[in-house]
Amino acid sequence: MEQDLKRNNPKRKTHKMENRPLVTQFRLSFARIVIASILATVVTYILAAVLYSRATFRVIYPANYYEQQIPELDAYIREKNTALLSRSGEKGLQSVIHGDGMSYQVLNKDGSRIYGTNHKNVFKNKQELFSRLNTTFRHGGRYTHVVPIVDPNGKIQGAVTLSYRLRMSYIGNSGRLVNAVLMAAIFSPFLYIIGFTVLYSRMFVRNIHHPLQILMDASRKIREKNLDFEINYHADNELGKLCGAFTEMQEELKKSLSAQWKMEQERVEMVEALAHDLKTPLSIIKGYTEALMDSGRYDEEKYHRYLAVIHENAEKGTVLVQQMQYTSDLQNSGAALQPVPVNLAGFLEQKVLHYALQARQKGITIGWEIQGDVPAPLRTDTDKLGRILDNILSNSMEHTPVGGKIHILVKAEKERISYRICDTGGGFRPEDLEKAFNRFYRGDEARSSKDGHSGLGLYIARQLVEQLGGSIRIENAESGGACVLFWHKSVL
Instruction: Supply the DSSP string of 384-414, one letter for each residue.
Output: HHHHHHHHHHHHHHHHSPTT-EEEEEEEE-S
Which pLDDT does position 309 carry in this prediction? 63
Q: How far is CA 394 from the centre of its chain?
A: 42
| CB-CB contact of 167 with 66 (8 Å) | no
The 8-class DSSP code of residue 260 comes to H
Among 419, 436, 426, which residue's Cα sits nearest to residue 380? Answer: 419
Q: What is the pLDDT of residue 51?
A: 84
486, 433 in Cβ contact below 8 A? Answer: no
37 vs 28, 32, 153, 188, 288, CA distance in Å? Answer: 14, 8, 67, 9, 90
Question: Could you report the average pLDDT of every consecutive run of 10 residues in the chain (492 residues)?
Answer: 45 55 78 90 90 77 85 91 89 86 90 89 88 90 92 91 84 76 86 88 77 81 75 71 77 74 66 59 67 62 66 68 66 71 92 89 93 86 91 90 94 92 91 82 50 67 91 91 93 78
Residues 207 and 215: beta-carbon distance below 8 Å: no
SS3 166: coil
- Ramachandran bin of 320, using left for φ above 0, alpha for ψ from -120 to 50, beta for the remaining angles: alpha
For residue 152, what are the CA distances in angstroms to 79, 157, 347, 352? 11, 10, 109, 117
Closest by CA to 148, choosing from 77, 198, 89, is 77
Residue 368's nearest CA partner among 386, 387, 350, 385 is 350
d(CA 366, CA 70): 102
Report the distance separating Cα 469 and Cα 471, nearest Å. 7
User: Helical H runs in 148-237?
Assistant: 172-186, 188-223
Specify the amino acid at residue 451.
D
Strands 136-139 and 142-150: antiparallel
Q: Residue 57: how many CB atoms within 10 A of its CB?
A: 12
What pLDDT is stored for residue 8 in this prediction? 46
Phi and psi for 383 in degrees, rounded to 5?
-65, -45
Q: Is the pTM of this model over 0.75?
A: no
222, 257 contact by CB (below 8 A): no
Question: CB neighbours (10 Å) of residue 59?
Answer: 17
| Distance separating alpha carbons of residues 132 and 161, to the nearest angstrom | 10
- Any idea what the Cα angle at residue 290 is, between residues 289 and 296, rounded to 5°? 95
What Cα–Cα distance (Å) separates residue 133 from each residue in 7, 21, 136, 178? 89, 74, 9, 38
Contact of 392 with 420, CB cutoff 8 Å: no
Which residues, at least 6 apart from 227, have a Cβ–Cβ distance to it below 8 Å?
221, 250, 253, 254, 257, 258
As a whole number of angstroms, the distance between CA 259 and CA 325 comes to: 24
How many secondary structure helices (H) and strands (E) does the chain include?
A: 15, 14
Give the domains, in start order, of the chain with CATH numbers. Answer: 4-54+179-222 (no CATH), 67-167 (3.30.450.20), 248-332 (1.10.287), 340-489 (3.30.565.10)
- Residue 61 identity: Y
